[in-house]
Amino acid sequence: MNWFLIALGAPFLWAIVNIFDQYMVKKYSVGEKGSGGLVIFSSLIGIWAAIFIGIFTTGIFKIPIGDKLLLILAGGLSISWIIIYLYTIEVEDISFIVPWFSMVPVLGYILGYFFLGETLTTKQLIGMFVVLVGVIVISIDFSLEEKFKFKWKPALYLIIACLIIAIIGVIFKYITIQNGSFWVSSFWEYLGLGIFGILIYLFVPKYRREFNYMNKKGGKKIFSLNVLSEGITILGNLLSRYATLLAPIAMVYLVESFQPAIVLLIVVLGTKFFPHIIAEKIHKQVLLPKIISIIIIVAGTILLFI
């Protein structure tokens, strides 16, 4: 099978998950209901993922206690970026949010340089700058008639979320290199996600009330959608990793940079034909800057990975 189609399948599946996320937030978490319920639902998936990985993986307890604690902490940090991500969905369109996550490899390169001894080439530095320009462009509200407005608040939230993801990636990479097992590291990270989710339920009353409310109103449906979403994410991850066996990693990463474009395409089609599922503003003043931004981000990604 053509490696390009396999590699393209990953960002397509991830884009579907992004649409799922917006649908669940808009339907179950806007206003007084809050997104705390979805945060706990998402984190509890970590327990099931850890159990599944633990059944099929050997040596999960053989790594040093310090590595276990760091990975559990990484799982806990995952909740913090999920909280930011879900909150931002409450106030912004998903087609605005997804391109921002192109900053994750940029921040990952920076952290890798300082903490893992990795090097940065001139071309990569230029690519990082170009990606930054792209996310700045998409953060400007061009829909106002009199003047442009920069969306400082959601931009700040998303840069924090991207930084957290990059930190998690550095921790995961460092420990996985030490213990040599991707699945052992994944077990402890998912376990940490689940543990911190339980702690939030026990000690954060607001989130507990929102979780109980969501569970009462549509618990089975929400849980099923979360499981389906997580399954689609994992399938996308597997397609991505399989594609790296058939083609250079840099080329696979380049194809994955198309995810914001895929999300935008789905949003446009969904708004036209399935507005009860997803609906965003798609007039020219809003749509054109997003297209330009995505083109700039892909150009920067080319410089980063090629």
What backbone torsions phi and psi does residue 149 show, to the nearest 5 degrees?
Answer: -135, 130
Check residue 143 and give its pLDDT: 67
Per-residue pLDDT at 97 exceeds 90: yes
- State the Cα–Cα distance between residues 245 and 258, nearest whole angstrom: 20
Per-residue pLDDT at 31 exceeds 60: no
pLDDT bin (cut points 50, 70, 90) of residue 159 is: very high
The residue-averaged pLDDT of 108-113 equals: 86
The residue-averaged pLDDT of 267-295 equals: 87
pLDDT bin (cut points 50, 70, 90) of residue 218 is: low
Check residue 99 and give its pLDDT: 93
Per-residue pLDDT at 275 exceeds 60: yes
pLDDT bin (cut points 50, 70, 90) of residue 177 is: confident
pLDDT bin (cut points 50, 70, 90) of residue 145 is: low
In contact, 43 and 75? CB cutoff 8 Å: no
Check residue 222 and give its pLDDT: 74
The closest of 162, 156, 36 to 90, measured between CA atoms, is 36
SS in 3 state form for the chain? CCHHHHHHHHHHHHHHHHHHHHHHHHHHCCHHHCCHHHHHHHHHHHHHHHHHHHHHCCCCCCCCHHHHHHHHHHHHHHHHHHHHHHHHHHHCCHHHHHHHHHHHHHHHHHHHHHHCCCCCCHHHHHHHHHHHHHHHHHCEECCCCCCCEECHHHHHHHHHHHHHHHHHHHHHHHHHHHHCCHHHHHHHHHHHHHHHHHHHHHHCHHHHHHHHHHHHHHHHHHHHHHHHHHHHHHHHHHHHHHHHHHCCHHHHHHHHCCHHHHHHHHHHHHHHHCCCCCCCCCCHHHHHHHHHHHHHHHHHHHHHHC
pLDDT digit string, tens, across residues 47-60:
988 999 899 988 89
Look at 9-13, 115-119, 192-196 and tell me which has the smallest mean pLDDT. 115-119
pLDDT digit string, tens, across residues 187-198:
999 999 999 999
Check residue 262 and give its pLDDT: 93
- State the Cα–Cα distance between residues 115 and 117, nearest whole angstrom: 6
- State the Cα–Cα distance between residues 112 and 131, nearest whole angstrom: 18
pLDDT greater at residue 150 or residue 75:
75
Check residue 170 and give its pLDDT: 86
Tokens standing for residue 54: 């633990």
pLDDT bin (cut points 50, 70, 90) of residue 260 is: very high
Check residue 146 and give its pLDDT: 54
- State the Cα–Cα distance between residues 15 and 95, nearest whole angstrom: 10
Q: What's this model's pTM, rounded to 2 decimal places? A: 0.87
CB atoms within 10 A of CB 163: 17
What is the percent of the chain where pLDDT is above 90? 37
pLDDT digit string, tens, across residues 69-88:
999 999 999 999 989 998 89
CB atoms within 10 A of CB 126: 13
Check residue 306 and give its pLDDT: 77
pLDDT bin (cut points 50, 70, 90) of residue 29 is: low
